[in-house]
Structure 1
């Protein structure tokens, strides 16, 4: 406390009944005076009277106080003295040590007279006034400390900001020392995800009066016009989510009410927006606005009825698109049954009893029969290509079997070798083994009829046999009948 507010102390006498003090024995000399506690007399001198500053009152100073000796503490100069705002007092402990001096008389009573020989009030004031500059020098460091503390308090008050935090529509006022939004959220233990939104941004510097809004992200499994996707929204209702996602909800079908709340866990939402679809049916064009899920449903809304085999130019269960034109096809149909042949197969088997080059059909092949049913359709009066709808085998085909000779053909016949067989063949058939006369009765190089050929051991028809076999059979015929079988060309055998 500033020492200027303390008066000097005088020596006090003993307290008597009359209100005056008796002269006390001289008090021992106090230590070196400390400026904050006022001036002291020289050793052996009585102390002056204590006078508190005018207009100041210390509620902590006990009264009345017994008279006694005053001695400032040994480390008084080392103790920091801080002023109390509005009052200046000396510590109670030190006042208790103050030497005896007359106290102010109670209100309404005459003040006690000082003891004989005690210095007057004026001399004490003169000593106090002479020591005032040294007290001021001691007050300067204390004033600096007070100013520093006051400045820290001001900085503390400036750093404190009042802001509003709005979380999902619930607002509250906060006092914070955070510098930006990110620090405020950390102080509030709010860990936001990638799909959560905060306004203003995380790096926004905070000032008094700011309002921070936090909205949590919500997943939505959205099926929009038949297309499935997963999206995130910070809206808390279906209507808000549709506006945030830019989905036109007027006239749309919604699987959930627009006013329905979206929980933090999200929801499944099916949206079919209103579209313009045109139908061509029965020579007329009809355009409607619809949010139907299928073409068939949209046709019903257009007032068009499908009967029998009637259908549309796109699949009836497909999703109708914006601006799509769909034709309705009126179909009439019937069935037609046709029987068609089935070709037989041929098998060839070696026969060692037949000469090489000889083939004999041992089993003739026969074709089978298959019954096929076709659908005949007329679309909008135009006949369509028949469409096969079923098949049935009426008769299976019979396989043809052919025997192939593997036996070596003899060439020599006694009595016929050495004749001109090539000349005879040229005369009868022009040298062609498969030649047949116009009537179909005779065939081969030597124009055998079938009966004669088979009588000589031949198989089948002569024109089907190899040339060597035909020559061998002709030699056998010459040995038995001579040249008579060839009445015109027989002479060639010898010429």
Structure 2
């Protein structure tokens, strides 16, 4: 252990007197003093002849012993026993250092700009010298994260020191590479209880669990790859908060409307139309990355958005063919079958009209009993075109002839619902 630096002036005492006084100094102190001189006396074997310069050094060393021997009280006062506390680890140190800085140098303790030592300056016997090394921790204050330096040893001490930064200050635990264990670089608490909030419940940390990782292990809590761990003060209790974080891709589909396209068709009459290709909606697929924390959505990010099934256009044929000019029905007598209507009536699709009106049954009668036959004549309309009796009792040929006569006189409007079938 380094001793006290001894400084002396030239003296006039004889060398013999110095040796006599040296003999009166305890052996342990004499050894200590020799260790602090620049040259220890050489033995006769190793150095048979001593130079004048060597003699001067010996005389100076002896003189220094005399000074210390006569001032023994000063040497005793220089010796101190202090307690050295380095980040909570305490040791009792015996030293002759006169300052805290000298003590730290003796113990090979180097302090950085953010490290602290208390007290400073002159070193007093029996004092506690407290050294705290600063280290970085990540905190979250009112939702914003930052890295700060602290000399706190425990989470509760750090939270107390950081309380002025916001109403909700948390220490954020990192995830170590070894198994993803939460690492806070601070013990949980100095001497108070601690708890863990996880999955909607609050659990008491078992005794002996000093770190965040210890606490979670003791309670059998497993962390997911994205789960977050922080430490906060909940009331008067240090609490480890585990937030379950889930990130997943969510796929949704949306309908893409089809377009309607019309095209002219000379095969059907003006005023009529026919859908030749039915429209089919397309499909738009959207993939989003959704983040939830404890079941509450906190972020949503678009991953892809594309039409995965194109729509099919609906195609409608619009008639351009001119309608035939209506002609008067020929005069008829008795119940004879009239001649087939003139004009274009004979060229129309009467079978389609009959199928639509009556299912193609000549004797069909409506449920109300009001309409009869292939073309569902009313009795009055049947009589107006020269028919006798009930239309459903006439032959199919007569019914078709009188239907053509009705068309030539009044057009397809006589059959409001099925009339367009004539032109199909």
Regarding TM over 0.5, the answer is no
Relative to its length, the structure with more strand (as a share) is 2
Bigger radius of gyration among the two: 1
